A and B are shown apart, each in its own frame.
Chain A
């Protein structure tokens, strides 16, 4: 574990140098420890693949004082299964206007669209972190068999709920943003829920499974979710 500053009001705690489940578990354990035992002046913690960044209030504590607080930190944290993490099933209507790149992903990997869907829905994915947009999951564990490079130039607006592939990553766009991912489908679930707490469907540490639905089912679910 090593520490370095991010600017003059945050400190980065690095637990490793590779994206893997062991480092992810340490990151999650560290975040939960710091949230349960915040040091004086701590504002918030942001987990990533291999680091936890702790923001602090410079009026209350200096960088050196924060580092002094971290003495013995490594021995304090208990890596284990996060009890609040959950498995979330995400319905996706693949292809058609919701997934305009499904055919291209299939062609790139010498598969049929149905085979791409079977592979995408056949895995259990881990949410390593949330970022890029509110509620956007950085998901690991997608099969290399459907990996596809990003578009050469990004689309200007991708509708919320769109499921995409970029390289060997898959993800879901929570809000309308520009983006270069290959779009394979769309979910009627809202990933960003600003009026709820937590404000996102997914959290770092959660597991995700996708399942295929028809366009009619998509419309039905969308109506039902917007009513609730």
Chain B
């Protein structure tokens, strides 16, 4: 059991999202940085799609009331127990009575905390993800608050054998961790002011040639009015060759839509299912973790790639996670 001493800025329970219900207008939700959530789960022996905490910019303060194997991934904050840094992207054994706090960092936006067995919350439409506006899923359909108590589940897929050794190591101090972590080469190319890879959106050709050049040549600032639904960008205005009345149709994570004010919006985890604005581009799935780690005030650019490349890179990212699983198994067998 974990007690929430401070909630942090926006701490929610998420998994990989709620699929199969978009035709009812139910949004997908799920982790903004799905790669980081998957890796956090894999590191503690869970299935990739297990409920974990998504923490935003200012992290929470959590009291562990029992021993627990955890993993912190993502960016934007540094976990601390007793003034010692809890390293990221590796399993960490935390002893009962420890308080995990987070210090803000200058880069990154979202960190993930997975616990062995996941968090025990009711599944709503096959998902544990919090859907804030409809007040369903996650912890009572809302962000965590001071005083909340999180129960751990028993959804372990393959228990980490190293856990035993770590628990012995942790007798000497509040927490213990192995001397390895996930290789940087396996991670998406996380950076503060990234160039995001895009494929053309459905209305790419309907924008003026100048606007298309601007999109692919200039930088756009992420506005402070950005959230889990979408990142609003400001910069040079993007214009259609002629105003067209579009018929609303499905949108998805990464859709770059341009309302009539000319400022693009990148739709993200909590996007609506249907949209009516022209779609100039589409951030590729493999780069969604990168945009999820960009904070307001930072700048993004766009670079055109092909659909074929985009799908290849997404498969590579997935294979990296499979490789990680295989190497964890190897470590366990030694």
Contacts and interface: CB of A to CB of B under 8 A. Distances in A.
Contacts of B251: 6
A44 B249 contact: no
Given A8-B311, A55-B252, A131 B282 contact: no
A7 B282 contact: yes
A134 B311 contact: no
B249 A130 contact: no
Contact of A48 (B250, B253, B282, B308): B250
A49 B23 contact: no
A47 interface: yes
B255 A132 contact: no
Contact of A199 (B26, B250, B272): B26
A19 B24 CA distance: 19
A55 B185 CA distance: 29
B186 interface: no
Given A49-B247, A53-B249, A134 B26 contact: yes
A67 B160 CA distance: 42
Contacts of B284: 7-8
Given A59-B318, A63-B311, A194-B125, A10 B25 contact: no
A29 interface: no
Interface stretch (B14-22, B38-46, B102-110, B292-300): B14-22
A31 to B, nearest CB: 7
Contact of A132 (B125, B254, B272): B272
A62 B306 CA distance: 13
B255 A5 contact: no
B61 interface: no
B198 to A, nearest CB: 9
B272 A131 contact: yes
B312 to A, nearest CB: 9
Contacts of B26: 134, 199
B307 A192 contact: no
Interface string A1-35: 00011111110100001010000000000010000
Contacts, number: 133
B186 to A, nearest CB: 17
A6 B282 contact: yes
A49 to B, nearest CB: 5
Contact of B23 (A7, A31, A59): A31
A43 interface: yes
A76 B329 CA distance: 46
Nearest to B253: A7
By secondary structure, the A interface counts as loop
A195 B255 CA distance: 30
B17 to A, nearest CB: 10
A164 interface: no
B24 A130 contact: yes
Contacts of A43: 19-20
A43 to B, nearest CB: 6
B314 A8 contact: yes
Contact of A192 (B19, B134, B272): B134
Interface string A36-59: 000000011111111101010011
Given A8-B310, A134-B24, A192-B134, A46 B285 contact: no
A135 interface: yes
A220 interface: no
Contacts of A55: 19, 22, 252
B322 to A, nearest CB: 10
Contact of A131 (B135, B253, B273, B315): B273
A35 B318 CA distance: 26
Contact of B22 (A17, A44, A133, A136): A44
Given A8-B199, A49-B249, A134 B134 contact: yes
A167 B311 CA distance: 41
B250 A51 contact: yes
B133 A10 contact: no
A142 interface: no
A9 B273 CA distance: 15
Contacts of B308: 62-63
B331 interface: no
B147 interface: no
19 contacts: A5-B199, A6-B250, A6-B251, A6-B282, A7-B282, A8-B307, A8-B310, A10-B252, A19-B247, A48-B248, A63-B307, A131-B272, A133-B134, A134-B21, A135-B25, A136-B25, A194-B124, A199-B24, A200-B24
Given A46-B273, A50-B247, 10 more contacts: A6-B255, A7-B254, A7-B285, A17-B247, A58-B311, A129-B274, A131-B274, A132-B25, A132-B272, A175-B133
| 5 closest A-B pairs by CB | A131-B274, A53-B250, A8-B310, A7-B282, A48-B249
Interface of B: 19-27, 124-125, 133-136, 199, 202, 247-255, 272-274, 279, 282-285, 307-308, 310-311, 314-315, 318
